[in-house]
Amino acid sequence: MSDCIFCKIVAGTIPCRKIYEDDYVLAFHDINPAAPVHFLVVPKMHVASLADCVAEHHAGLLARVMLAVAKVARDIGLENGYRTIINTGEDGGQTVFHLHAHGLGGGKPRPLGDALPAAN
């Protein structure tokens, strides 16, 4: 997708602090970290969001994204654990519409309740 920030990062036309890449995924540090360690894993193929994962081939893609989160967390040394987040769509707080998993670690996380949608 020509207008997608993460496609441009995958293509190398926007720089990133790369951590890991293989044929299917790219992992890099988030530009605006929300935790002491905050990285993103994106599929190299453009998929707008988790809500767009509907076909059989998306199963493999999602598995590769999650395996990369686990590998990067291991390699970075997050042996105490980490939080994995996929924001989906407007109500999910997604701001970049190219599927990505956040890996957050390096300190105690806020209670998950802080991340729940506000009740009306």
Active-site hit among 29, 46, 58, 100: 100
- Let me know if 57 is a catalytic residue: no
Pattern 68-107, ligand 5GP, x by CB under 6 A: -------------------x-----xxxx-----------
Cβ 40 to ligand 5GP shortest distance, Å = 6
| Joined tokens for residue 54 | 């509907």
| Joined tokens for residue 13 | 């036309």
For residue 15, the 8-state DSSP code is -
Complex with ligand 5GP: residue 5 or 67, whichever CB lies closer: 5
Binding to Zn ion in span 1-30, by CB under 5 A: 1, 4, 6-7
Distance CA 115, CA 99 (A): 19
Binding to Zn ion in span 81-110, by CB under 5 A: 98
Q: 36 — phi, psi (to 5°)?
A: -55, -40
- Beta pairing partners, 18: 28
